[in-house]
Structure 1
Amino acid sequence: MDQVSLQLTEDGSHTLYNAELDETYHSNRGALAEARYVFIESGFAVVLPHITQQLNILEVGFGAGLNALMTLGYLDELTAQRAGDIPQVHYVSLEPFPITAQLAQQLNYPALLPTRYFSLFDAIHQAAWNTQVRLSQQFAIEKRVVALEQFEGCPASFDLIYFDAFAPSKQPDVWSLANFQKCFALLKPDGMLVSYCANGQFKRHLKAAGFSVRAHPGALGKREMTRAWK
């Protein structure tokens, strides 16, 4: 992973830059702000109220672990406020090329968030790969070193998919119709897929796979992002 290095985004939070792809892991306008808006406010917070027992999330692209951190932090806040009525969250994240532990420790997300995020951030990055690890009473994570194409999941087992791969122009194979057919099969009825991307071919593939696709205002001045339901 020598080709991956740190960069600062406009909100002061780090992203990672992949020199091989000439692409950053997050918006240059703000990594934290983008993750919070796209995946938490427009995804997790929308689905969570409709789940009573366990919410299963599949993330395509663990990357810097930011979406996992923000999901666990949001859940932790809700649990502190409303003890007893928060569903369990099982978070499965796919990443064929994990960053090194040394690089992860340089990320500045905990310094920009409430103090309790320090321990959450460490727990996420120290969790062993390819096994389920419980990080709190309400949250378990399973980081898998595998691409979506090779991932073997049970049909109709996920309530929410975070699709956070590199842009279609950089990794077109990841955004294939076959992958979205697979995502559709992995989702439960009424499950949702959420992505920062609003690419036209991406949305056509989603519709061809059977999704109901709805444009949604994008983060940080971007015109649109995408939410799609089964």
Structure 2
Amino acid sequence: MTETDPRQNQPPAQQSLEWHAGDMPYSLEFGDHFYCRTEGRLECGHVFLAGNRLPARWNAGGAFTIGELGFGTGLNFCETWRQWKQAQVSNGRLHFVSFERFPMRADEIDRALSHWPEIAAERQALVGTWSNSPGGRIDIDFNTVRLTVVCGTALDGVSQCRESFDAWYLDGFAPSRNPDMWSSVLMQAVFDRTVRGGTFATYAAAGFARRNLAAAGFAVERLPGFAGKREMLRGDKA
């Protein structure tokens, strides 16, 4: 079931895209690709799932909430959902909450994710319930997995959200191209809405992003990045 908050009537901002190599979206606003050109799906596994110690943390069962800055094509959601199903979590419930300023249309998501046959089932389910004019707060229930996408600026969305988060995927465009997504005030809002023992992971390793995460209160560590990238960041809330 898909629900859009009727109180939010303003249409979302639309992003100008180019398509490289047929199915690789490129943002003209931010001058950057949406994910690693080498293999975006495997990057998700290396950075966001492994960086948050997933799926091992799901073994305890119960409810688990992931927050994401930047829904983009939905690749991280679909790969996470695929791994959740493979993990066969007993008595588990996953809530994936993403904050996205420029929501893509259903046909754009379908075009981008068609690159990966491994997530074909998840892509088809997502696209089949997604609107070509998404906006507001969107809730889609997929049995043991619930997707929420909050359309608008990340700072407004995170500051006003009612959820508490066990893990974060910090996946905005590169800090040099989209510094607002890595600001000290947003990183503080992320920290404040993270449960004790919660985590974050990100492909970014820029000095100011690392300093803002540490200043917010996270214990930050650097790990080897994906596909030859020297570093990535992960951290915990003690």
Shorter-chain TM-score range? 0.7 to 0.9
Higher relative contact order (CA closer than 8 Å, sequence separation 6+): 2
For residue 146 of structure 2, what is the aligned residue in structure 1?
Answer: 140
Shift in Å at residue 50 of structure 1? 6.3
Residue among 41, 65, 77 paired with 1:68: 77
Q: Would the aligned equivalents of 1:59 and 1:92 in 2 still touch at CA under 8 Å?
A: yes
Distance change in 2, residues 1:91/1:108 (3 Å): closer
Q: Report the Cα distance in structure 2 between the residues aligned to 1:14 and 1:36, rounded to whole angstroms.
A: 20
Deviations 1:42-97 (A, max 9, x none): 22516624643100011110001000000000011112xxxx62521011111110
For residue 6 of structure 1, what is the aligned residue in structure 2?
Answer: 19
1:180 matches 2:187? yes
1:20 matches 2:29? yes
Distance change in 2, residues 1:206/1:60 (3 Å): same
Q: Would the aligned equivalents of 2:109 and 2:127 in 1 still touch at CA under 8 Å?
A: yes
For residue 34 of structure 1, what is the aligned residue in structure 2?
Answer: 43
1:106 partner SS: helix
Shift in Å at residue 109 of structure 1? 4.0
For residue 90 of structure 1, what is the aligned residue in structure 2?
Answer: 95
Shift in Å at residue 214 of structure 1? 0.8
1:112 matches 2:117? yes
Q: Which runs of no fewer than 5 residues in structure 1 stay unpaired?
A: none
Q: Name the amino acid aligned to 2:83.
A: Y
Residue among 166, 185, 189 paired with 1:159: 166
Deviations 1:167-203 (A, max 9, x none): 1111111211000100000100010011010111111
Q: Report the Cα distance in structure 2 between the residues aligned to 1:156 and 1:93, rounded to whole angstroms.
A: 11
1:97 partner SS: coil
Q: Would the aligned equivalents of 1:47 and 1:160 in 2 still touch at CA under 8 Å?
A: no
Q: Would the aligned equivalents of 2:55 and 2:83 in 1 still touch at CA under 8 Å?
A: no
Distance change in 2, residues 1:3/1:155 (3 Å): closer
Deviations 1:81-119 (A, max 9, x none): xxx625210111111101122222212446431xxx323
Runs of at least 4 residues off by over 6 Å: none
Q: Name the amino acid aligned to 2:33.
A: T
Percent identity between matched residues is 27
Shift in Å at residue 209 of structure 1? 0.7
Matched residues, number? 218
Shift in Å at residue 148 of structure 1? 1.5
Q: Name the amino acid aligned to 1:135.
A: F
Question: What TM-score does the superposition give when structure 1 sets the normalisation length?
Answer: 0.86
For residue 59 of structure 1, what is the aligned residue in structure 2?
Answer: 68
Report the RMSD for the aligned CA atoms in angstroms: 2.2
For residue 106 of structure 2, what is the aligned residue in structure 1?
Answer: 101
Mean alpha-carbon deviation: is it higher for 66-75 or for 124-133? 124-133
Q: Which runs of no fewer than 5 residues in structure 2 stay unpaired?
A: 1-13, 131-135
Q: Report the Cα distance in structure 2 between the residues aligned to 1:47 and 1:157, rounded to whole angstroms.
A: 20
Distance change in 2, residues 1:180/1:167 (3 Å): same
For residue 189 of structure 1, what is the aligned residue in structure 2?
Answer: 196
For residue 155 of structure 2, what is the aligned residue in structure 1?
Answer: 149
1:88 partner SS: strand
Q: Report the Cα distance in structure 1 between the residues aligned to 2:41 and 2:194, rounded to whole angstroms.
A: 26
